[in-house]
Amino acid sequence: MTLDDLAAASNMDNSNVARLESGNTNPTIRTLYKISQGLKIKLKELVDVE
């Protein structure tokens, strides 16, 4: 999946996804939720830490 694909699937701007990818910004919980929806996974799977 490309950055453009993820942005489209997550209903986000490409520039926002690019900033996240490069580490220039920290995502909000809402942004993480949008990304999880774009990836078709549960939010818990995206942020689960042990």
- Tens digit of each residue's pLDDT, the chain (50 residues): 999 999 999 999 999 999 999 999 999 999 999 999 999 999 999 998 77
Residue pointed to by tokens 């942005």: 7
Cα-based torsion angle of the residue sequence 41, 15, 23, 48 in order, rounded to the nearest 10 degrees: -10
- What's residue 3's pLDDT? 95
- What's residue 48's pLDDT? 84
- What's residue 26's pLDDT? 95
DSSP letters, the chain, are: --HHHHHHHTT--HHHHHHHHHTSSPPPHHHHHHHHHHHTS-HHHHH---
